[in-house]
Structure 1
Amino acid sequence: MNPTTGQRRRLRLGVIAASALALLATSPLGAVSAQAAQGCEVGYQVTGQWSGGFNANVEVTNLGDPIDGWTLEWSWPDGQRVTKLWSAKDKSAGDAAKVESLGYNAKLATGGSTSFGFTGSWTGANTDPTGFRLNGRLCDGTVGEPSTGWANAEEQVAAMQPGWNVGNTLDSLGGETNWGNPMITEAQLQTVKAAGYNSIRLPVTWDEFTGESPDYTIAPERMERVAQVVDWALANDLQVMLNIHHDSWMWIDQLPSNHDNVMAKFEAMWTQIATRFKDYPAGLSFESNNEPAFEGVSLEEGDVYNAELNQAFYDVVRNSGGNNGDRLLILPSLHTNAEQVRLDPLKTMIEGLEDPMVAATIHYYGFWPFTVNIAGFTTYNEQVQQDLAGYFQRAHDTLVANGIPVIVGEWAVFNYSHWSPERIEQGEMLKFFEDLQFQARENELTTMLWDAGQFLNRETLEWRDPYIAERLQTEVTSRSGTTSFDRIYLEQSGTITDESLTLNRNGLDFEGLWEGNVKLSEGTDYTVSGDTLTLTAAALTRLAGDRAYGVNAIVEARFSAGSPWRIYIKSNDQPVLSDATGTTTSFDIPTEFNGDNLATMEARYADGTNAGPATWTPFQEFGHSFIYDYEAGTIILNTAFLDTLREGEPATLTFHWWGSDTVAYTVTKTGTTVTGTAT
């Protein structure tokens, strides 16, 4: 349970690339006969190296029964890449190297060898890879039966990276489609797999389909529907993490006040789930429950109840027979939180189990003021970044470094969706997404994106924003460069001048700017001095075109790896707000946005105290206190804000814009009437 850091790192590097074949070997889709003995050795030699590049030769020896067709996989330890390969087919993707045989060298007799060579790229270091796998089996010089799963939780959790949540579907209340998503189909899961995901988290809420005590029988149609989705996922090479989901706040949270009944129902549910799936392959794992929390107790007492629940889950599944004796089981911390005081009791419990097939899970949606846009946290600043880095490092140092793998079972930002206005500026959100996946790699955490329909359109099977989807896929294995902001605002009525941004290279080389397929000219269209990127007035004048309000052009900053960074050239003028009258249930401010974008709103009374539900800060929560509708030309003050206004006392609202000066506005509540005045 306590391997050294070096041992742990080598183990993880050896399994990421082999995830697909390891799972195939557990199912009828595997290419290797269940009776065939497997074994292999690999010789790896760098034959030449220069700045940024190298040549290498790889020799593969089959120690097992004869094979017809082979695939060799490994992971790069330092971000190296194959750039040109001969005597085999290159099927690599990012850090996961994958090489397949050609027709003439596909057959390898026992003791037979073949070799191939390649040219590769490297930066910083060129450490030899380890953990080679031939047709899914580790090449360690031994011979045995084909792999039937993963040696321990660390291997299996690594092979799940990255993962995707089928959110707001089988977990929704009132039926699978009641929260706005269509029923899950095999085609949806195939779309997810094609986008590079290796696992799904399948949230399921069981309560509405569960009978009364003492048996708490789960309706057969519910169980079989869940089994159908699990079957589709496994057949399409997706691991599945199955859980008990919204039951956590529907009835499990009453454990302190209704202990015996809650425990009886919880154990009855897991007994039925475990029994139904006991003969499923290792690619199916179980998660105790979602975001455990308990009513009427302190956090410290909650840790004790959480441990009791996790122990009951563990005991029920392990004693249910079949493959459940060594199936991967995943235990959450209280609130799935990674504060140190929440991680320590979970670590103690898992270590006490002395079971190599147990993992931990946490969730992360970012530093709270940033992820909901409150208190002026409108950018991905140092404080927001440090919250992320510290959160993931604690998970690593407490759990991963002690042999307990960690799954970030949900991550995204709160309130991001395709159907609501932009609450967090998109570029700042993308910086968070990029850094989160980098920090996950650095701390050896597996991540599962929470998607309740805001990323994948499950009706059309198209990613709602292909740019975001492409970045999410690329940044699983690579950093991406950014700039200090992703927008350049040009005052429509003003003179265009040079505009500068700061390059955030993230360890990469800046390769230039493009507009579509046309590369801009350095020295004429832009200049680079240190980390300062300056677009010239001449280039911006051309890009702005007729200077209509809004986006005039999109420029891409490209780097030596990762996804391009989009810079939006926008024309705008100062927004104009008009007087209005409304009620405490409906108050809209007529607004001419003039191509600009709202960043946040602060609210104060004349005596300097804060107005609005968030009394601890003048900057109110975007979406909760206020929202906008660009098409309708309004800023909307929500009832949550209006209800808190003092009777007859004017409150000054200061609207902050990304491209213009602030605009002040005064609102006064008299009874149920609200009046607004532009100032």
Structure 2
Amino acid sequence: MAGRRGSPGTIRRFAGLIAGGLAALLAVLGIATAGTAGAAAPTAPAAPRDAVDAVDAVAAMQPGWNLGNSLDATGEDETSWGNPRITEELLDNVRAQGFNSIRIPVTWGQHQGPAPEHAIDAAYLERVQEVVGWALEDGFYVMLNVHHDSWQWIANMPADRTGVLARYEALWTQLAAAFRDASPKLMFESVNEPQFTGGSGDAENAELLHELNTSFHGIVRDSGGGNAARLLVLPTLHTSADQARLDELVTTFDALDDPNLIATVHYYGYWPFSVNVAGGTHFDETARADLTEAFDRVHTTLVARGIPVVLGEYGLLGFDRHTGTIQQGEKLKFFEFLGHYARTKNITTMLWDNGQHFQRTGFEWNDPELFGQIESSWTTRSGTASSDLVFSARSEAVTDKTLTLHTNGTTFTGLRHGDTELTPGTDYVVEGDRLTLTADLLTRLSGSREYGTNAVLSAHFSQGVPWRINLITYDPPALDAATGTTSSFAIPTDFRGDQLATMEATYDDGTNAGPHDWTSFKEFDRAFAPDYAAGATTLTPEFFAEVDDGSRVTLTFHYWSGTTATYHITRTGTTVTGTPA
């Protein structure tokens, strides 16, 4: 992952493999076709399963964590993407959080010499060995891989098949030798998120990945020592859970016929929800179905056939910027459900963390509530609700407010304000799945009714973590006129206790304005962002880069209270003016 993702493509089914399928089939059988000369034939395992059982190991790896944006950074060293140097203390503290496995992404390309040796810089290899050694000493299962090389130079394989394959084989030959006698808890992952540019399509891409995975397998197995039976991790194309990609990987597993292999995919959620675009503000039924269908496919195609699966990365793509891109309660519901559903499908999960979650020097979680929900999901379910926000307008009389409880197989046991147990029938009423907070309770806890959160409640259930409920006083936000430029424009905004959910942008003729012109709803943070401390709503240069010069755009801001506000902006060259509607 590491901050370089675009929007996922649409799901492509197995029928897409028909074109060019003969070449892929012949490659699987080890028969060279035009352009495939020199492809390595599948290598049978050199030793029986005598070190670590793959299925048992993957179960024992749960849960896992990624040491992202460090050794995988593409700069000169592991600090070039802003994270501090890895320490033994960091790994000790990660282990203490309850993680049993660690994925160590490594980008090797900038530390390799020229052809034909493609020698790895000795100091860099020693550093990787040091970090791997610390992790093994801590008792982690360790997954070591070839990371951003996938798009830096491996992606060029369609145009330079011989050269890329030679470099890839040289890399894994050196890595296999360096770690030949390491603990069997160390496993190798052939390549991260494999992708190819300039090829003829899915059939060729499948053939190329099969060639890489097969070559990797043969090199490691033939290097002997602990590598003869070491667990090896093979990805799907793009580490996608699309059915066609899973079927392609099964073909490779069948050809290799090795019990010490593990499959891996990644999952970052239903894309509109994952980045907050196209109105995807909620973890709704569409977002939930995307997750369940992906994990069902993985289970049916791989796990049920005895092929263990590691979800090598998971999270939300909006986290590339910061974890506030997705509203807190909706975010928590996503992680609660993902952990639960992966567990029911026997899929081991490895949280992607590029430094935004667990502090690399402070050793604390930046969002303890988020980690609490993730940690709970490893073993049980937690109750949630339709929202974690309850709004009462200051300009109106306080009235009862109702939320829908999602018990998720638990039982609602009570409502608290801090350590005080609230009284059912007086402070709140539960009827079926509906929790009603009484006007008396809201009035008592809202005090002088200052804008913002006046009190925090917690709904408790028979298991899992409590669900936080913020009691908020608000009035409709007020937006003022503004003048700026396409590189710097902010709308003065008195949020008055409310919170921004999303923004629409349309031209006067009703067509969509700005980036992602297939939807009126723009991407949170990419096109716009609230600045609550400064009292402003910012429109980004990226937004204006796709706004027609000389045009007027109507912006509709949607807030979590349900309030909307309309605003007009006009771009003239690089000058932008704005006025409330």
TM-score (norm 1): 0.77
Code of the residue aligned with 2:370 in structure 1: it is I
Query: 2:118 is matched with which residue?
Result: 216
Query: 1:390 is matched with which residue?
Result: 293
Query: 1:546 is matched with which residue?
Result: 448
Task: Say if 2:508 is the partner of 1:598.
Answer: no
Query: 2:192 is matched with which residue?
Result: 290
What are the residue-to-residue correspondences of 1:262-281 with 2, within 5 Å?
262-281=164-183
Out of 77, 81, 84, the position equivalent to 1:179 is 81
What are the residue-to-residue correspondences of 1:318-357 with 2, within 5 Å?
318-357=221-260
Out of 629, 638, 658, the position equivalent to 2:531 is 629
What is the CA-CA distance between 1:568 and the residue it aligns to?
A: 1.0
Code of the residue aligned with 2:387 in structure 1: it is F
Code of the residue aligned with 2:223 in structure 1: it is S
What is the CA-CA distance between 1:258 and the residue it aligns to?
A: 1.1
Code of the residue aligned with 1:664 in structure 2: it is T
Q: Indicate how the Cα distance of structure 1 residues 240 and 450 shifts in structure 2: closer, same or farther if over 3 A, else same.
A: same
Moved over 3 A (4+): none
* Deviations 1:1-46, CA, capped at 9 Å, x for gaps: xxxxxxxxxxxxxxxxxxxxxxxxxxxxxxxxxxxxxxxxxxxxxx
Aligned partners of 2:513 and 2:341: how far apart in 1? 37
Code of the residue aligned with 2:258 in structure 1: it is D
Q: Is the 8 A contact 2:109 2:149 kept in 1?
A: yes
What is the CA-CA distance between 1:421 and the residue it aligns to?
A: 7.1
What is the CA-CA distance between 1:415 and the residue it aligns to?
A: 2.2
Q: Is the 8 A contact 2:102 2:350 kept in 1?
A: yes
Task: Say if 2:320 is the partner of 1:422.
Answer: no
Task: Say if 2:210 is the partner of 1:315.
Answer: no
SS of residue matched to 1:446: strand
What is the CA-CA distance between 1:356 and the residue it aligns to?
A: 0.7
What is the CA-CA distance between 1:493 and the residue it aligns to?
A: 2.4
SS of residue matched to 1:416: helix
Query: 1:381 is matched with which residue?
Result: 284
Task: Say if 2:504 is the partner of 1:504.
Answer: no
Task: Say if 2:306 is the partner of 1:403.
Answer: yes
What is the CA-CA distance between 1:469 and the residue it aligns to?
A: 1.6
Aligned partners of 2:360 and 2:472: how far apart in 1? 32
Q: Is the 8 A contact 1:149 1:283 kept in 2?
A: no
Query: 2:369 is matched with which residue?
Result: 467
Task: Say if 2:316 is the partner of 1:413.
Answer: yes
Q: Indicate how the Cα distance of structure 1 residues 421 and 244 shifts in structure 2: closer, same or farther if over 3 A, else same.
A: closer
Code of the residue aligned with 1:476 in structure 2: it is W
Query: 1:142 is matched with which residue?
Result: none
Aligned partners of 2:517 and 2:492: how far apart in 1? 26
Out of 50, 59, 67, the position equivalent to 1:166 is 67
Code of the residue aligned with 1:411 in structure 2: it is Y
What is the CA-CA distance between 1:647 and the residue it aligns to?
A: 2.3
What is the CA-CA distance between 1:570 and the residue it aligns to?
A: 1.3
Aligned partners of 2:566 and 2:195: how far apart in 1? 42
What is the CA-CA distance between 1:554 and the residue it aligns to?
A: 1.3
* Deviations 1:439-482, CA, capped at 9 Å, x for gaps: 10111100000001111011211111222122211111111100
Q: Is the 8 A contact 2:176 2:227 kept in 1?
A: yes
What is the CA-CA distance between 1:552 and the residue it aligns to?
A: 1.5
Query: 1:88 is matched with which residue?
Result: none
Query: 2:270 is matched with which residue?
Result: 367
Q: Is the 8 A contact 1:574 1:660 kept in 2?
A: no
* Deviations 1:88-135, CA, capped at 9 Å, x for gaps: xxxxxxxxxxxxxxxxxxxxxxxxxxxxxxxxxxxxxxxxxxxxxxxx
SS of residue matched to 2:319: coil
What is the CA-CA distance between 1:161 and the residue it aligns to?
A: 0.5
Q: How much is the aligned-residue C-alpha RMSD, in angstroms?
A: 1.3
Code of the residue aligned with 2:341 in structure 1: it is Q
SS of residue matched to 2:194: coil
Aligned partners of 2:51 and 2:338: how far apart in 1? 29
Higher strand share: 1
Q: Is the 8 A contact 2:50 2:229 kept in 1?
A: no
Aligned partners of 1:245 and 1:420: how far apart in 2? 22
SS of residue matched to 1:415: helix
What is the CA-CA distance between 1:220 and the residue it aligns to?
A: 1.1
Task: Say if 2:521 is the partner of 1:609.
Answer: no
Aligned partners of 1:161 and 1:556: how far apart in 2? 29
Query: 2:98 is matched with which residue?
Result: 196
SS of residue matched to 2:247: helix
Higher RCO (Cα < 8 Å, 6 or more apart): 2
Q: Is the 8 A contact 1:367 1:387 kept in 2?
A: yes
SS of residue matched to 2:435: strand
* Deviations 1:294-347, CA, capped at 9 Å, x for gaps: 001212321111111111111111111110011000000000000001110101
Task: Say if 2:342 is the partner of 1:450.
Answer: no
Task: Say if 2:163 is the partner of 1:261.
Answer: yes
What is the CA-CA distance between 1:553 and the residue it aligns to?
A: 1.4
SS of residue matched to 2:464: coil
Q: Is the 8 A contact 1:421 1:628 kept in 2?
A: no
Query: 2:15 is matched with which residue?
Result: none
Q: Which has the larger radius of gyration?
A: 1
Aligned partners of 1:295 and 1:400: how far apart in 2? 30
Q: How many residues are matched?
A: 531
Code of the residue aligned with 2:467 in structure 1: it is W
What are the residue-to-residue correspondences of 1:480-519 with 2, within 5 Å?
480-519=382-421
What are the residue-to-residue correspondences of 1:208-247 with 2, within 5 Å?
208-247=110-149
Higher helix share: 2
Aligned partners of 2:521 and 2:384: how far apart in 1? 27
Query: 1:15 is matched with which residue?
Result: none
Aligned partners of 1:421 and 1:563: how far apart in 2? 20
SS of residue matched to 2:296: helix
What is the CA-CA distance between 1:514 and the residue it aligns to?
A: 1.3
* Deviations 1:389-420, CA, capped at 9 Å, x for gaps: 00000000001111111111000001226x74
Query: 1:576 is matched with which residue?
Result: 478
What is the CA-CA distance between 1:546 and the residue it aligns to?
A: 2.3
SS of residue matched to 2:142: strand
* Deviations 1:648-674, CA, capped at 9 Å, x for gaps: 221100000001420000111111111
Aligned partners of 1:177 and 1:647: how far apart in 2? 41
* Deviations 1:615-668, CA, capped at 9 Å, x for gaps: 111011111111121111111111121122122221100000001420000111
TM-score (norm 2): 0.90
* Deviations 1:593-616, CA, capped at 9 Å, x for gaps: 111110000111111111111111
What is the CA-CA distance between 1:149 and the residue it aligns to?
A: 4.5
Aligned partners of 2:57 and 2:399: how far apart in 1? 55
For structure 2, the 5+ residue unaligned runs are 1-48
Code of the residue aligned with 1:326 in structure 2: it is A
What is the CA-CA distance between 1:148 and the residue it aligns to?
A: 7.8
Q: Is the 8 A contact 2:529 2:538 kept in 1?
A: yes
Aligned partners of 1:487 and 1:362: how far apart in 2? 34
Aligned partners of 1:675 and 1:202: how far apart in 2? 48
